Amino acid sequence: MTRRVLLVAHTGRDDINQLTRRIAEPLSRAGVDLVALPGENDLLGLPCVDPRPDNSIEMVLGLGGDGTLLRAADKARPIDAPVLGINLGRVGFLAEADPEQLDGVIQAVIDRSYTVRERMTVDVLVEHDGVEITRNWALNEVSVEKATRERILDVVVEVDGHGISAFGCDGVLIATPTGSTAYAFSAGGPIIWPQVEALLVVPSNAHALFARPLVVAPSVEVTVHIDPKGHEAAMACDGRRITELPAGSRIRVRRGVQPVKMVRLGELPFSTRLVRKFALPVQGWRDKRH
């Protein structure tokens, strides 16, 4: 059976074609075809494959920043393929390797010498007046935000149908542990280790005393109800898939039925990854010499 690896890349970079050739040539010698998405294959100089469950794509290789890796996850999840991220961005928290590790990454793909870990996702259902507007999903977070800068978004946050708090805000994020180091972190939420299964609810610039981040069980449904007499909003899934929301909409978020599979090349502890990605200082008073 033909082995295929799908490349999802940041095609706007000047060095992307050189990196693509550096990946494709050794893979080809080992009998692995590097392929690309329709609309990107010509730019990358690769054969075109539209990913489907029946076309034997064994891995999706994301080459870029976190935005590119989220796009790779979007292509990988429906075909149940794992994602391997190579960071060409700044932080690249979703990536497994950096460009200087590329030769080792290629060899690991050829030898299949890697492990696969599942990452929790969220499924989202949006309703208005009892009518379904849309369904979507996210690996990092679902964000519900005010549609115009000068307005305040009035919401009620519910857990399993029970109201927790009502407040005006810039928005509300419902994040996974994977997304806790992304938008939710920037909004003041806690970092959750990937092994912890939970949902994270983070208000953004809320005008209320009790509007703190919440960490809730993965079995509950979190609902954000937009004031019917208030203003319109917008929902973004992983910052990519945007839906306009009329006043009165209910956004229901729960644990995703299908996780995203992520390739791991080693057993690097999450704490070490955290320190490296954020360049955290780890020397304290106990390390000082007097």
Provide the residue type at 202 as one letter: V
Alpha-carbon separation of residue 47 from 44, 68, 148, 179, 188 (angstroms): 9, 19, 43, 33, 43
Sequential DSSP letters for 123-172:
EEEEEETTEEEEEEEESSEEEEEESSTTS-EEEEEEETTEEEEEEEESEE
Q: Residue 13's pLDDT is what? A: 81
Position 270 pLDDT exceeds 70: yes
* pLDDT of 286 higher than 70: no
What number is the average pLDDT over the span 13-25?
Answer: 90
Q: What pLDDT, on a 0 to 100 scale, did the predictor assign at position 288?
A: 60
Residues forming the active site? 66
Q: Which CATH architecture has domain 3-119+259-278?
A: 3-Layer(aba) Sandwich (3.40)
Helix (H) or strand (E) holding 42: helix 41-44
pLDDT score recorded for residue 287: 64
Segment (H or E) for 282: none
- Give dist(CA 237, CA 179) in Å, integer: 11
Cβ contact 172:224 at 8 Å: yes
The pTM for the full model equals 0.91
The single residue listed with the structure tokens 């009502």 is 166
Q: Give residue for tokens 């960490």.
A: 215
What is the average pLDDT across 150-157?
Answer: 92
Instruction: List, for residues 166-178, the tens digit of each pLDDT value.
Output: 999 999 999 999 9
Confidence at 290, pLDDT banded by 50, 70, 90: very low
Mean pLDDT over residues 170-187, rounded?
94
Please provide the CATH number assigned to the domain covering 122-255: 2.60.200.30
pLDDT at 282: 79
Averaged pLDDT of the chain: 91
Quick one: what percent of the chain has pLDDT higher than 90?
74
> pLDDT (tens digit, 9 = 90+) per residue, 23-52?
999 999 999 999 999 999 998 999 999 888
pLDDT at 289 over 60: no
Q: Write down the domain spans for the chain.
A: 3-119+259-278, 122-255
Amino acid 283 reads Q
DSSP string, 173-185: EEE-TGGGGTHHH
| pLDDT mean over 115-134 | 96
Angle at 184 between CA 182 and CA 186, to 5 degrees: 75
Q: How is residue 160 written in tokens?
A: 């399993």
Say which residue, 149 or 232, is predicted with more confidence: 232
Q: What are the backbone angles phi and psi of residue 24, rounded to the nearest 5°?
A: -65, -40
Q: Which of 13-17, 21-25, 238-242, 276-280 has the lowest average pLDDT?
A: 276-280
Q: How far is CA 262 from CA 35, 66, 173, 198, 251, in A?
A: 19, 13, 23, 18, 27
SS3 state of residue 117: strand
- Rounded mean pLDDT, 143-172: 93
Distance separating alpha carbons of residues 156 and 201, to the nearest angstrom: 12
Asked whether residue 122 carries a pLDDT value surpassing 80, the answer given is yes
Instruction: Pull the structure tokens for residue 264.
Output: 């791991």
Give the tens place of pLDDT for each residue, 61-77: 999 989 999 999 999 99
Question: Residue 88: pLDDT above 60?
Answer: yes
